[in-house]
């Protein structure tokens, strides 16, 4: 092909040296165009129809082929095969082309095997057995071995050295490399795992307790990860710490579109009581609580009637309480609040009573994940809770403060002085002589 183009250029009157160079450039351009055009045609003519068939089929496991792009990765071999077919057109460098093509195909084969292992892992994880016997860690080891073998074979092809010779050299230098490049090697392996499993990305909010790091990831390198803490200090941790240590990534919270509110208000247990008619009538005026009160009252009356309960005694049968009604009110309030996420879990629950009262916990999620807006919403909710408690005849538990103790002391002193004065007056009243002395 090169000779054909060289003949054409020679016929146009170009020099023999220039027409040969120009012919090689033209053939090279044609080779590259044909290589990528072949890949494009392969994807459009074969892969796209297969993907359409797979998506319409009732069989679920074949969807994993599309999800992990196994066929697309196989298509990466097409350009290399086309280039290998064009190699004889460049006799001077054909051996180099064959070596480069072979190296490329080796790594693409490793990528295809990687994708196939992902397909197999996903298919296995869809089975009930996978919950008790996970294999993801084993697949990671297999993938690592595949890439190591591919690397060794690729080096052998490029250098012409036998595979066993390369392995022998690697074995002799392993101890030295591990000592000299320990951090770099650990960082390299960690970086691969971080990238492959999408553990951490730039911009993620993470917490690494051991290194007292809590903030946004601003840089990820081969050996280190830089985190800007909320106090604007910067913490640098080794990359392998993400793999070997426990850490928390808040990315899931932002992706879910809700930030958790989990806070308790402590109720004075002495304020808990049954709902009487007066309190019921007052609470019935609360619009969002009215449907609950009516349905609950009807349900309880029906139960007591069917079981012939003596309702003259409050502890008999079933009755509404002020704290139970308050929980129902808070649930309705949260569901009607525009700032809460209705798609995520939402509840108001009692926790184990303590010596500081009965904890009533709010468990919900805000729509806005921004820190400032989240805190504002949480404060608004609890402002409303504290203001609403007295309407249900409930009190917040609070330990006595210095002012409370001082007021109590003043009260006791006042009572004692009043008692002493009363005793003195009684004494003068009982003794006319003392009464006369008092008047004097």
Same domain, 60 and 170: yes
Residue 50 is assigned to a structural domain of this protein: yes
Q: Domain boundary at 180, 202, 228, which?
A: 180
Same domain, 198 and 148: no
Higher per-residue confidence, 311 vs 233 = 233
CA neighbours closer than 13 Å in the CB half-sphere of residue 350: 15
The least confident of 44-48, 109-113, 214-218, 377-381 is: 44-48
Residue among 114, 113, 88 nearest 101 (CA): 88
Same domain, 41 and 164: yes
| pLDDT at site 320 | 92
Residue 187 is assigned to a structural domain of this protein: no
| pLDDT at site 434 | 47
Question: How confident is the prediction for the chain on average, in pLDDT?
Answer: 81
Same domain, 144 and 235: no
Same domain, 156 and 222: no
Strand partners, 237: 225
CA dist list (Å): 300 to 293, 349, 365:
10, 21, 32
Same domain, 147 and 6: yes
**What residues make up the domain containing 204?**
194-249
Q: Domain boundary at 151, 180, 209, which?
A: 180
Higher per-residue confidence, 195 vs 367 = 367
| pLDDT at site 323 | 95
Residue 186 is assigned to a structural domain of this protein: no
| pLDDT at site 438 | 46
pLDDT bracket for residue 299 (50, 70, 90): very high
pLDDT digits (tens, 9 = 90+) for 165-179: 666 666 666 666 666
Same domain, 56 and 135: yes
Higher per-residue confidence, 133 vs 245 = 245
Same domain, 326 and 406: no
Residue among 330, 310, 433, 318 nearest 391 (CA): 330
Among 70-79, 88-97, 187-196, the range of highest mean pLDDT: 70-79
Gap between the Cα atoms of 440 and 435, Å rounded: 9
Same domain, 16 and 148: yes
Residue 273 is assigned to a structural domain of this protein: yes
| pLDDT at site 23 | 58
Same domain, 150 and 8: yes
Same domain, 383 and 340: yes
pLDDT bracket for residue 141 (50, 70, 90): confident
Spatial CB neighbours of 426, under 8 Å, sequence gap ≥ 6:
none
Same domain, 290 and 225: no
What pTM was computed for the model? Answer: 0.58
| pLDDT at site 138 | 72
Gap between the Cα atoms of 373 and 350, Å rounded: 27
Supply the CATH number for residue 225's domain: 2.30.30.60
Indicate whether 2 pLDDT > 60: no
Q: Please state the domain count of the chain.
A: 4
Q: Domain boundary at 180, 215, 231, which?
A: 180
| pLDDT at site 172 | 60
């Amino acid at each position: 092909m090169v000779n054909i183009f060289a003949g054409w250029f020679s016929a146009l009157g170009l020099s023999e040296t220039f027409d040969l160079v120009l012919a090689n450039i033209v053939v090279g351009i044609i080779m590259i165009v044909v290589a990528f055009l072949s890949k494009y045609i392969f994807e459009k003519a074969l892969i796209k129809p297969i993907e359409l068939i797979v998506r319409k089929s009732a069989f679920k496991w074949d969807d994993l082929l599309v999800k992990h792009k196994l066929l697309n990765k196989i298509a990466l071999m097409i350009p290399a095969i086309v280039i290998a077919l064009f190699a004889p057109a460049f006799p001077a460098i054909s051996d180099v082309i064959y070596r480069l093509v072979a190296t490329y195909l080796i790594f693409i084969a490793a990528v295809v095997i990687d994708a196939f292992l992902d397909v197999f892992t996903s298919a296995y994880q869809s089975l009930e057995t996978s919950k008790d016997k996970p294999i993801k860690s084993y697949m990671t080891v297999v993938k690592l071995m595949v890439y190591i073998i591919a690397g060794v074979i690729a080096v052998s092809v490029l250098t012409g050295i036998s595979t066993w010779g390369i392995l022998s050299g690697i074995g002799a230098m392993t101890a030295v490399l591990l000592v000299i490049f320990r951090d770099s090697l650990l960082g390299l392996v960690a970086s691969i795992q971080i990238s492959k499993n999408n553990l951490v990305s730039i911009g993620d909010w993470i917490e690494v307790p051991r290194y007292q790091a809590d903030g946004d990831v601003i840089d990820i390198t081969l050996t280190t990860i830089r985190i800007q803490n909320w106090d604007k200090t910067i913490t640098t941790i080794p990359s392998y710490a993400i793999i070997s240590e426990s850490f928390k990534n808040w990315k899931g919270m932002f992706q879910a579109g809700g930030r958790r509110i989990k806070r308790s208000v402590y109720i004075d247990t002495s304020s808990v009581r049954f709902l009487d008619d007066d309190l019921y009538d007052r609470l019935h005026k609360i619009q969002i609580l009215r449907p609950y009160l009516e349905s609950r009252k009807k349900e309880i009356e029906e139960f007591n009637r069917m079981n012939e309960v003596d309702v003259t005694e409050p502890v008999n049968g079933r009755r509404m309480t002020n704290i139970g009604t308050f929980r129902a009110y808070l649930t309705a309030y949260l569901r009607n609040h525009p700032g809460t996420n209705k798609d995520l879990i939402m509840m108001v629950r009692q926790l184990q009573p303590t010596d500081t009262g009965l904890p009533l916990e709010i468990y919900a999620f805000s729509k806005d994940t921004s820190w400032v807006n989240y805190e504002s919403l949480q404060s608004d909710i609890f402002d409303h809770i504290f203001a609403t408690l007295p309407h249900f005849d409930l009190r917040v538990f609070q330990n006595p403060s210095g002012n409370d103790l001082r007021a109590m002391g003043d009260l006791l002193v006042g009572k004692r002085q009043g008692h002493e004065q009363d005793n003195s007056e009684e004494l003068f009243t009982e003794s006319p002589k003392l009464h006369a002395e008092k008047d004097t």
